[in-house]
Amino acid sequence: MATLTEEVKALFEQPFYAWVTTVRPDGTLHSTVVWVDVDGDEILFNTAIGRAKERHLRHDPRVSVSVLDPGDPYHLASVSGVARLETEGADAVIDRLAKKYLGVDEYPGRQAGEQRVNVRVSPQSVIFNPGG
């Protein structure tokens, strides 16, 4: 089990886009861009039930989440671990992420009938480069 240093947390707390890599049922990898944050010692992102990320993680909870400082391509962090999915509080989290990334109080992309889900990543491996 790895831990998130304050430097890693600080990078993930910035409104920088991250990318998540999950494992498809056939073993191939799937990467997608996400909004991300830190909650305690976990990386947190949000998706909707039925989307590829959610389906892949229910099949295989291994995941990698990486973020790159757009002002310094060598300032990056990558956290690999096991995902835990939870619906409780997911609507509030997507609204919080919308505030962080868009400056709005409510997530504008919410679809009718959509159920949001939080993905919490407990780190098993952390790579950090402070940049230059």
The reported pLDDT for the residue numbered 44 is 98
* Whole-number percent of the chain with pLDDT over 90: 95
* Confidence at 56, pLDDT banded by 50, 70, 90: very high
Would the CA dihedral through 14, 63, 83, 110 be positive or negative?
A: positive
* Whole-number percent of the chain with pLDDT over 70: 100
φ and ψ at residue 124, rounded to 5 degrees = -110, -25
Structure tokens that stand for 116 in this block: 């949001």
* Confidence at 1, pLDDT banded by 50, 70, 90: confident
pTM: 0.94
> Taking a C-beta distance cutoff of 8 angstroms, is the pair 102, 108 a contact?
yes
Query: How far apart are alpha carbons 127 and 125 in whole angstroms?
Result: 7
Provide the residue type at 40 as one letter.
G
The reported pLDDT for the residue numbered 132 is 82
